[in-house]
Amino acid sequence: MVRISSLQYPKKSHRKVVTLPDPSIELAEFFGIMMGDGGINNAWQANICLNSVADKDFVVYVCTAIKKLFGIQPSVFKCKNSQATKILISSVALVDFLVDKGLKRGGKLKNGLSIPEWILGSTEYKIACVRGLMDTDGCLYIHKHTVAGKIYKNIGLCFCSHSPVVIAQICAVFEEFGIIPHISNQGRSIYLYKESAVARYLEVFSTLNERIRSVYKKFGGVS
């Protein structure tokens, strides 16, 4: 872990000092969050866009994680005319660090979005990164159907991505833990259809997003 000025001219009194952390579970989870709902569109700023209603508590969690990881307080803005909250992290040094560690600058899909090798080489890091991805671009849902006049309900998990590489990587991680994924929507979605598969996912990967946890509690599970 090192601390470094984010400005080109380190003698300036207004320089921003950031922490560049060593690989960790927390950093791997942050990478998953960035790969899901984050982006790097210029040389000095990274951003994460979350639902201001459904992900309200998760916004607080992500801001706390950023402060803990990098030693800087992100800016948070509610987007006008939409249910979106944008978290902005401004630092040239931090952006360079994130790109060097495997995040993509500019269009994520165009530039080959994938889970970085330093994450794939560690079981704990893979779990954390997938959790970050699922807590942003994943969801739990309850499906109700009627058979012979009796109402049944099932719970499922869905994750969507336009990156075939990320879809394949997540499926491979799931299979390592005995979770059988189903791919649909022309290869853009991963589904877990069985209650046992969802329970196994939460047992291994957990969730830090109340949006996901609340659906499982509503279904009758414990998380």
- Rounded Cα distance between 131 and 10, Å, is 37
Do residues 92 and 44 touch, judged by C-beta distance below 8 A? yes
Six-digit token pair at 127? 């779990």
Residue among 17, 14, 129, 113 at smallest CA distance from 73: 17
Longest dimension (CA), the chain: 76
Identify the architecture of domain 2-110 in CATH: Roll (3.10)
Residue 66: per-residue pLDDT: 97
Average pLDDT over residues 12-41: 88
Q: How far apart are the first and last CA of the chain?
A: 33
Amino acid in position 49: C
Q: How many CB atoms lie within 10 A of CB 185?
A: 11
Is residue 91 classed as helix, strand or coil in its secondary structure? coil
- Rounded Cα distance between 19 and 4, Å, is 6
Average pLDDT over residues 209-219: 92
Asked if domains 2-110 and 133-219 share a fold, the reply is yes
Task: Sketch the domain layout of the chain as residue ranges.
Answer: 2-110, 133-219
Burial class (CB in 10 A: 0-12, 13-18, 19+), 9: exposed
Residue 223: per-residue pLDDT: 52
Task: State in words which class domain 133-219 has.
Answer: alpha beta
Residue 218: band (very low, low, confident or very high) from pLDDT cuts 50, 70, 90: confident
**pLDDT of 145 strictly over 70:** no
If you search the block for the tokens 């833990």, which residue do you land on?
Answer: 177
Residue 9: per-residue pLDDT: 44
Average pLDDT over residues 68-97: 94
DSSP summary character for residue 182: E
The rounded mean pLDDT for the chain is: 90
Residue 80: band (very low, low, confident or very high) from pLDDT cuts 50, 70, 90: confident
- Rounded Cα distance between 116 and 32, Å, is 10
Is residue 121 classed as helix, strand or coil in its secondary structure? coil
Residue 17: band (very low, low, confident or very high) from pLDDT cuts 50, 70, 90: confident
Is residue 24 classed as helix, strand or coil in its secondary structure? coil
Distance of CA 160 to the CA centre of its chain: 12
Concatenating the DSSP letter of every residue in 128-152 gives HHHHHHHHHHEEEEEEEEEETTEEE
Six-digit token pair at 146? 């009627």
Do residues 60 and 161 touch, judged by C-beta distance below 8 A? no
